[in-house]
Amino acid sequence: MKDILTAPFLIELIRTASNMYRLGYDERNGGNISYMLDEKEAGEYLDLNNVIRTIDTGFDASALTGKIFLVTGTGKYFKNFEYDPENNLGIIRIAKDGTTAELLWGFADGGRFTSELPAHLMSHIARLSIDPGNRIIMHCHPDYTLAMTQVHEADERKITRSLWKQMTESIVVFPEGVGVLPWMVCGTNEIGEATAAKMKEYRIVLWTLHGIYGCGKDLDEAFGLIETVEKAAKQYMLTANLPKANEITDKNLLALTVRFGLNYRKEFLDI
């Protein structure tokens, strides 16, 4: 059996998390990631019959029974993943009862997965119903996106239009726009259910005054979505109080959708 510390999926997550910490997206122990692993690949590095212990998930995830996830730990700092992965990360499998996680590796210090796991699992279920290739749910707290939710009306059409108009790449990267939730208590099933409902329409969901939920088929795609939204939010915040000499128009946005063959949210353009 191969050494788990050499597993590409583990190395990739550690690199991504370290980068997110350095960018300030995940201060202290803020943020969390869940990565649905391929069973065959996971089996090259783990004895899938060896369950270290079981942990209650607090949510009936029967739709994900047997699925294996690499997840970040509660109270853990992203900056420490590269130095001590076995205490800060864990690999779990959703048991047959749907409400129990079987620990296959990690959380060696007796820890457990992120408190946002129910929200992650709900979002995985929602995204898999739309895109069977979806494997990543990623949550973080980027500065400018958070600032934008303080000063911008929390309306999906309006905030999407503001982001699309900041730079050419925005509508290309997230043509469906962004979902928006009002402020809600984190770590609850209620916010998980609300996020999962939005994930059926959007790959990015903004938690007002809290952060971003993003998804994708791999870590690059999920992180790429988030960093593009954050870059657009930064441009918005840097120029919000300045007179505009130039602006991306709705006709410009339409031209981009034609050029790149985008399946965009048509009701968000004034055409």
Range of the domain at 232: 116-271
Please state the domain count of the chain: 2
In this structure, the answer to whether residues 65 and 104 fall within a common structural domain is yes
pLDDT in tens, 55-87: 999 889 999 999 999 999 999 999 999 999 999
Tell me the β-bridge partners of 70.
35, 91
Average pLDDT estimate for 112-128: 93
In this structure, the answer to whether residues 96 and 157 fall within a common structural domain is no
pLDDT in tens, 180-237: 999 999 888 899 999 999 999 999 999 999 999 999 999 999 999 999 999 999 999 9
In this structure, the answer to whether residues 152 and 92 fall within a common structural domain is no
Residues 6+ apart with CB under 8 A from 174: 163, 202, 203, 204, 225, 228, 229
pLDDT in tens, 243-261: 989 999 999 999 999 999 9
In this structure, the answer to whether residues 139 and 268 fall within a common structural domain is yes
Q: How deeply is 172 buried, as exposed, middle or buried, from its count of CB atoms within 10 A (0-12, 13-18, 19+)?
A: middle
Residue position matching structure tokens 């919000």: 240
In this structure, the answer to whether residues 123 and 217 fall within a common structural domain is yes
Last residue of a domain, which of 114, 139, 170?
114
Spatial separation of the C-alpha atoms in residues 115 and 187, rounded to whole Å: 5
pLDDT in tens, 95-105: 999 999 999 99
Residues catalogued as catalytic: 116
Residues 6+ apart with CB under 8 A from 266: none
Spatial separation of the C-alpha atoms in residues 20 and 82, rounded to whole Å: 13
Average pLDDT estimate for 145-169: 97
The alpha carbon dihedral of 256, 261, 262, 268 has a sign of positive
Q: What is the CATH number of the domain that holds 17?
A: 3.40.225.10
In this structure, the answer to whether residues 101 and 130 fall within a common structural domain is no
Q: Quick one: pLDDT at residue 60? A: 92
**What's the pTM?**
0.94
In this structure, the answer to whether residues 149 and 208 fall within a common structural domain is yes
Q: Quick one: pLDDT at residue 156? A: 97
In this structure, the answer to whether residues 60 and 169 fall within a common structural domain is no
In this structure, the answer to whether residues 37 and 124 fall within a common structural domain is no
pLDDT of residue 177 exceeding 90, the answer is yes
